[in-house]
Amino acid sequence: MLEVSGLDAYYGDARALSEVSLTVHDGETVAVIGPNGAGKSTLVNAIAGLHPHRSGRIAVGGTDITGVPAHRVCEHGVAVVPEGRRVFATMSVYDNLCLGAYRRTARAGHKQRLDRVFDVFPRLRQRVTQPAGTLSGGEQQMLAIGRALMAGPTLLLLDEPSLGLAPVLTDEVFEALGAVGAQGVSVLLVEQDIDRALDLATRTYLLAEGRVAGEGPSADLRGSDEVRRSVLGL
């Protein structure tokens, strides 16, 4: 579903990603972990077409999308849940969700997708007329994920979904992400909570200083020396 090969990205003269390569198979959930500043969010933004990259190749579903602008990347079945949620605070939950189905191809299945979002996030059904800005942080994260699902993606990119959430709400969000994966959506998860990421993902990549420092089945990385040194500082 996703193939990234030799990706380089910069902020000015500072190199943020260096020859990063990874894959996400059809229906698979893959995590990217690493310390702050490792390049995790830059990776998500580069795949989504939101941050330019100088070299490398990105393919989604076998189609080369290298250099495709962000508003065209979504037409290839990619949806992003950004860090910080970025919901439209003065708009209702319903209107925020409808924006996710803005693309012409997503509008036809609007009602069915809305029902599926409410099945995954029952809290949103209860608050459908409520302004998004009055939701709790966890509920806003649910809304951001639901909005992305309204686009009918085949690949979902999530950037730090647990950031700033209380543990009980983090549990709810990750339980829902498991349900999303069970529906056949491929997921690339960037996450600071290592244990939750490793529990959810089939495979995991470790980023350190913009490079892939380790990769493999999540169960194998849980006790690896690379993870202890790079993320835990041990």
| pLDDT tens string 66-91 | 989 988 898 899 999 988 788 989 99
Would the pLDDT of 218 be above 50? yes
Would the pLDDT of 104 be above 80? no
**Between these two residues, 233 and 50, which has the higher pLDDT value?**
50
Task: Map tokens 């996703």 to a residue.
Answer: 2
Task: Map tokens 């993606």 to a residue.
Answer: 153
Q: Which amino acid is at 204?
A: T
What was the pLDDT predicted at 234? 46
Partnered with residue 203 across adjacent β-strands are 30, 217
Q: Which residues contact 194 (CB under 8 A, 6 or more apart)?
A: 33, 227, 231, 232
What was the pLDDT predicted at 228? 66
2-230 belongs to which homologous superfamily?
Answer: P-loop containing nucleotide triphosphate hydrolases (3.40.50.300)
Give the CA diameter of the chain: 51
Partnered with residue 11 across adjacent β-strands are 14
Across residues 196-223, what is the average pLDDT? Answer: 92
User: Which residues of 88-209 form beta strands (DSSP E)?
Assistant: 155-159, 186-190, 203-208
Confidence band of 232 (pLDDT split at 50, 70, 90): low
Angle between helices 110-120 and 93-100 in degrees, nearest 10: 120
What was the pLDDT predicted at 231? 65
| pLDDT tens string 161-203 | 988 888 888 888 899 899 888 888 999 999 988 889 999 999 9
Q: Please give the structure tokens belonging to residue 196.
A: 């939750």
Residue 133 DSSP one-character state: G
